[in-house]
Structure 1
């Protein structure tokens, strides 16, 4: 099983969107038993909050099912619990390093690395108000991530 943790500032927009988008993709492909997917925040501002309503709307418009998410904070212990810890921007990466410490197993990455855009970051729609664009970029990153991981899964299936 591949364990993935998506991370952003508050865990109410980008990271939870990535969690639900990736989960939806693997559910559709009927490979959900091969993954554990979760999300977390680098800050404490939104702990316990649900998905931000404009992000929830954008996800639903894209056909992505929404669960009963509540924001949580990234913990140092998450490093040993997950195979990949994926952030959205430089600020996330900075605070991820502060919380997690060193990355000796090279688990920490940016989502758009997997979409062939290693220098691209996903802007926070809380500020840009571009929720549909954010969902589109995250979807592109999640599809790329799954394609990247397909070769590493037992059986090597690219379903």
Structure 2
């Protein structure tokens, strides 16, 4: 099983949006038996909470479910369990490396570095723009799925 972990600050906006969108794309490609997707936070601010209502509403517009999703914090064991650990911004990458013991690993990377944007995914918790975040997440998920398919010959 190929495991992907999306990480942001609170695990209520960006990373659960990416988790849900990636699961949807994986299911559309009939790869759910090969690719598993999860998300986590670098902070403890929202542990146990469902995705932000703005994230839920935006995903619902596209027919994507967030049922059963709740925020959790990144843990050291995640480094061994996941092949891809994807941070939503530079700050998240720094926190991920710190929390996982600075592994300096190619499995940890900034999400939009897979696209032409090469920038942070804006946090809609602060910007209020869930559509912009969704559009970037969709593009990033498509790029990540292509990367996984190429690297694992799927």
TM-score over 0.5 for the pair: yes
How many residue pairs align between the two structures? Answer: 154
Cα deviation for residue 102 of structure 1 reads 2.1
Cα deviation for residue 104 of structure 1 reads 4.3
Query: What CA RMSD, in Å, does the superposition of the two structures yield over aligned residues?
Result: 1.1
Task: Provide the secondary structure at the position in 1 that maps to 2:67.
Answer: coil
Match of 1:84 in 2: 84
Unpaired stretches in structure 2, ≥5 consecutive residues = none
Task: Provide the secondary structure at the position in 1 that maps to 2:7.
Answer: strand
4+ residue stretches of structure 1 with deviation over 4 A? none
Which aligned pairs between 1:42-121 and structure 2 lie closer than 5 A?
42-117=42-117, 119-121=118-120
Q: Deviations over 1:18-67 (max 9, x none)?
A: 10000000101111111111000000000000010011001111221222
Unpaired stretches in structure 1, ≥5 consecutive residues = none
Cα deviation for residue 129 of structure 1 reads 0.3
Q: Deviations over 1:129-149 (max 9, x none)?
A: 000110110010000001111
TM-score norm. by structure 2 comes to: 0.95
